[in-house]
Amino acid sequence: MSTDSPQVAAIKERYKASFPEKVEVIRTALNSVFDNDDLEPVKEELHKLAGSLGMYGYQELAAHCRSAMEHIDQRNRGELINDLNAVIELLTSDA
pLDDT tens, residue by residue, 56-89: 999 999 999 999 999 999 999 999 999 999 999 9
Identify whether 55 is part of a domain.
yes
Give the structural domain span for 56. 6-92
CA distances from 65 to 2, 15, 26, 82 (A): 25, 17, 10, 11
Identify whether 49 is part of a domain.
yes
For the chain, give the number of residues.
95
* Claim: this prediction has a pTM higher than 0.95: no
Contact 59, 66 (CB under 8 A): no
Q: Between residues 95 and 63, which one has the greater pLDDT? A: 63
Report the distance separating Cα 14 and Cα 35, nearest Å: 33
Looking at residue 36, its pLDDT comes to 78
For the chain, the domain total comes to: 1
Identify whether 1 is part of a domain.
no
Identify whether 18 is part of a domain.
yes
Q: Between residues 63 and 29, which one has the greater pLDDT? A: 63
Looking at residue 1, its pLDDT comes to 46
Contact 68, 83 (CB under 8 A): yes
Q: Alpha helices of the chain — where are they, by DSSP H?
A: 6-17, 19-35, 40-55, 59-73, 77-92
